[in-house]
Chain A
Amino acid sequence: MQEIFNIFIKSIFIDNMVFAYFLGMCSYLAVSKTVKTSVGLGLAVIFVLGITVPVDYLLNEFVLKAGALAWLDQSFADVDLSFLSFILFIAIIASMVQLVEMIVEKFSPALYASLGIFLPLIAVNCAILGGSLFMQEREYQSLAQATSFGLGSGVGWFLAIVGIAAIREKIRYSHVPPALRGLGITFIITGLMGIAFMSFLGIKL
């Protein structure tokens, strides 16, 4: 139980998707102009990561890993399909995003309208595929660990995008050198936020 909680905290603060691995930077930079839209996108990312990482974990455990097919028949015990993982993970992610899109459209048209184009774009958000690939690389032991890793990474991404959106709303009123305006200053602020987040490295888990 404690292990699961540790993974959750670690993936939010220490291994933050944005500040430590630069994942999902494209939508992070494009959508962080106002707090409201960034909250919507952040929630969608938490949701999708929370679903796709466990699903991809099961896929990895029972289909892709070396010897994973042994439950079918002993003769499959030395089959290693891990080279297929990119294409299967991305297929799972694309179809999950499609599913989430349909569910959101049906049950919460207001949220659907406010997320607009971002929802389908989540399919190509590197944070989502990155979550699954890290899960595979770090070899989590159980479904619960993989789920808490997925949710934690999503929450970390959410914090990052809401933080930068709040700062960008304020920075509009300050005098930034013309050539740095917009994109340049956003990068530098993200860097500074990253340095701030590095202080969490001191947490021993």
Chain B
Amino acid sequence: MSAEIKEREPLFSAKNMKLIKNPINISNPITVQVLGICSALAVTAKLMPAIVLSISVIVVMAAANVIISLLRDGIPPRIRIIVQLVVIASLVILVDQVLKAFVYDVSKQLSVFVGLIITNCIIMGRLEAFAMSNKPWPAFLDGIGNALGYGIILVVIAFFRELLGSGTIFDFQVIPQAFYEFGYQNNGLMILPPMALITVGVIIWVQRYYTRDLIEKN
């Protein structure tokens, strides 16, 4: 065979770039694929934990995609779920220990949600759908792309919830004191869990309004 004559695909070809770009908008894991909502919403009352969780997910997801993609020919299909869970769980343990060591306060705030990255459907979903049938490099890009798409939504939600709910960004007060003296009040409801859901609903609304293809036919 003339395998060596075949031109190697450049690392950042258009096809590969798509793997990163698509999940950020038209196939966003949260608003379109509906994956990974579980751990997404509870940590978004403040920006800091949301960003830390996003970074953790990016790390776990890229690494898990690469590992599974490398192992993909050796995994018997019947036990693949267990194998995937073990790989993800080990990576999450690593992330958890690192968080505990370096940002202990945030790690306390995230409580069980670091552990819940294991069952974050977006990771399992991408492993099943992409990493099991693709080479490591595209799998790596796919992981980064999807985790970024997830992170962006998380940060947007957290931004609005923290701004409207506590009047702060990264714990710095951004709403001028004069507003409060005029009788402006923080919207305490934004801090409570149900508003995270409604915020996601509104984000989906805005996104679909501008991206007509995504509208569901009933």
Interface residues of chain A, those whose CB is within 8 Å of chain B, are 19-26, 29-30, 83-87, 90-91, 94, 120, 123-130, 133-134, 137, 172, 177-188, 190-195, 198
Contact = CB atoms under 8 A, between A and B. Distances in A.
A188 B201 contact: yes
Interface stretch (B46-54, B68-76, B159-167, B189-197): B189-197
Given A22-B196, A126-B39, A191-B198, A133 B97 contact: no
Nearest to B121: A26
B105 interface: no
A191 B35 CA distance: 18
Chain A interface helix/strand/loop/mixed:
helix
Contacts of B34: 26, 29-30, 183
Nearest to A121: B121
Contacts of A91: 82, 85-86
9 contacts: A86-B115, A91-B85, A126-B121, A179-B205, A179-B206, A183-B31, A183-B34, A184-B205, A187-B197
B89 A86 contact: yes
Contacts of B209: 179
B37 interface: yes
Contact of A183 (B36, B195, B216): B216
Contacts of B37: 22, 25-26, 29
Interface string B84-97: 01100110110011
Interface in B117-131: 118-121, 124
Q: Which of A26, A30, A194, A195 has the largest count of B CB atoms less than 10 A from its CB?
A: A26
A194 B197 contact: yes
B216 A187 contact: no
B197 A23 contact: no
Contacts of A86: 89, 92-93, 96, 115, 118
Contacts of B35: 26
Most chain-B CB neighbours within 10 Å: which of A20, A22, A83, A179?
A: A22
A19 B198 CA distance: 12
A73 B97 CA distance: 28
10 A-B pairs with the lowest CB-CB distances in the bound complex, closest first = A194-B194, A182-B216, A187-B201, A191-B197, A126-B38, A191-B198, A188-B201, A133-B112, A25-B37, A179-B208
B63 interface: no
A75 B39 CA distance: 39
A52 to B, nearest CB: 12
Contacts of A181: 215-216, 218
Contact of B41 (A25, A179, A182, A185): A25
Contacts of A30: 34
A127 to B, nearest CB: 8
B17 interface: no
A192 B194 contact: yes
A189 to B, nearest CB: 8
Given A26-B121, A90-B85, A183-B204, 11 more contacts: A21-B193, A83-B96, A86-B93, A87-B93, A91-B86, A126-B116, A128-B119, A182-B216, A184-B202, A191-B201, A195-B194
